[in-house]
């Protein structure tokens, strides 16, 4: 007999202990917009994110080991190795957006990377940059320099983390670009196994951990439409909602349109029909 103990929750995911060595990561269908979780769910969103993560874990296992042991038949639950997580968020940016754009505008730098003058919002960077952040328990993660990150994990480990993070981003971004999706930036969570080896954890290169932009609408010089959440954002903006909790309920056409966008992201990136994933989630593992 086994008890499944709840050990943590994010805005839209839950973590349970299976035993001393294994965790169960469950992706819900909840959606957040402007950092507020909405009362309306997007059917299949959790399965799409779990399937995409599995796809990337399988494709990048040569670049970095990962925590995935199995995807359960429900398509939303992953059995994972329990790791000792590093106390930093490993962010890689290929384009200038969000807090990267804000910091650049204010200082000409992002996390200690001095960038060329004259860049516009959403411009592609000459090379992707590693821009670590602290893990805020509440509120927003805060960007830190690589020197500050080195104090948290050690200089040698940080050099490995930076190299691996950039390789993972480039591999995924190149794959997605060939399928009409720009991965503007992404956040990895890395941990260490019993032997001190670096292991990729959490979700990987999903629309919740990354900015996905439709490549055919890319136009630097302003904010870009979100591949997945733009209908939800537009609807919320149309209400004049003040972006504090509780968020609004979504009408069924916004739910249906948004669900289609998640399924499109899954199918464009993996090349696998979503129905095939639903029938046998481990198809994404190749």
Min CB(79)–ligand Q0N separation in Å: 10
Q: Which of 45, 47, 82, 229 binds ligand Q0N (CB under 6 A)?
A: 82
Nearer to ligand Q0N, 175 or 187 (CB): 187
CB of 173 closer than 8 Å to CB of 183: yes
Q: Which of 64, 80, 168, 204 binds ligand Q0N (CB under 6 A)?
A: 80
Beta bridge partners of 14: 9, 26
Per-residue buried b or exposed e for 167-197, using 16+ beta carbons within 10 Å of the residue's own CB: bbbbbbbebbeeeebbbbbbbbbbbbeeeee
Q: Is 146 in the site for ligand Q0N (CB under 6 A)?
A: no
> Cα angle at 179 between 206 and 161, to 5 degrees?
45
CB of 56 closer than 8 Å to CB of 66: no
Window of 5-13, 42-50, 124-132, 273-281 that interacts with ligand Q0N by CB under 6 A: 5-13
Q: Is 37 in the site for ligand Q0N (CB under 6 A)?
A: no
Strands 109-110 and 77-81, by their bridges, are unpaired
Beta bridge partners of 114: 109
Q: Is 71 in the site for ligand Q0N (CB under 6 A)?
A: no
Min CB(119)–ligand Q0N separation in Å: 31
Min CB(130)–ligand Q0N separation in Å: 19
For residues 125 and 93, give the distance between their C-alpha atoms in angstroms, rounded to a whole number. Answer: 8
Q: Which two tokens stand for residue 21?
A: 């060595």
Q: Which of 4, 5, 6, 8 binds ligand Q0N (CB under 6 A)?
A: 8
Q: Which of residues 183-202 bind ligand Q0N (CB under 6 A)?
A: 189, 191, 201-202
Output the residue with the shortest Cβ distance to ligand Q0N. 10
Positions that interact with ligand Q0N (CB under 6 A): 8-10, 13-15, 23, 25, 67, 80-83, 85, 189, 191, 201-202
């Amino acid at each position: 007999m086994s008890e499944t103990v709840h050990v943590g929750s994010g805005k839209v995911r839950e973590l349970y202990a299976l035993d001393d060595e294994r965790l169960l990561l469950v992706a819900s269908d909840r959606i957040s917009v402007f950092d507020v979780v909405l009362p309306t769910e997007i059917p299949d969103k959790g399965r799409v994110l779990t399937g995409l993560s599995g796809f990337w874990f399988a494709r990048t296992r040569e670049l970095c080991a990962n925590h995935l042991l199995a995807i359960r038949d429900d398509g939303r639950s992953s059995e994972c190795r329990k790791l000792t997580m590093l106390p930093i968020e490993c962010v890689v940016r290929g384009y200038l957006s969000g807090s990267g754009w804000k910091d650049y505008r204010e200082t000409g730098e992002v996390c200690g990377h001095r960038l060329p003058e004259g860049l516009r919002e959403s411009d592609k960077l000459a090379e992707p940059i590693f821009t670590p952040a602290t893990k805020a328990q509440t509120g927003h993660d805060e960007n830190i320099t690589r020197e500050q990150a080195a104090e948290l994990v050690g200089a040698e480990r940080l050099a490995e983390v930076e190299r691996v993070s950039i390789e993972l981003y480039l591999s995924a971004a190149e794959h997605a670009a060939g399928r009409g999706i720009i991965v503007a930036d992404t956040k990895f969570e890395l941990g260490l196994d019993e032997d001190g080896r670096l292991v990729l954890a959490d979700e990987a290169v999903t629309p919740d951990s990354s900015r996905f932009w439709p490549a055919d609408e890319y136009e630097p010089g302003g904010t870009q439409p979100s591949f997945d959440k733009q209908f939800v954002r537009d609807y919320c903006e149309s209400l004049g909602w003040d972006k504090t909790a509780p968020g609004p309920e979504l009408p069924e056409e916004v739910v249906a349109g948004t669900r289609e966008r998640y399924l499109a992201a899954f199918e464009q990136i993996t090349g696998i029909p979503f129905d095939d994933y639903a029938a046998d989630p481990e198809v994404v593992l190749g």
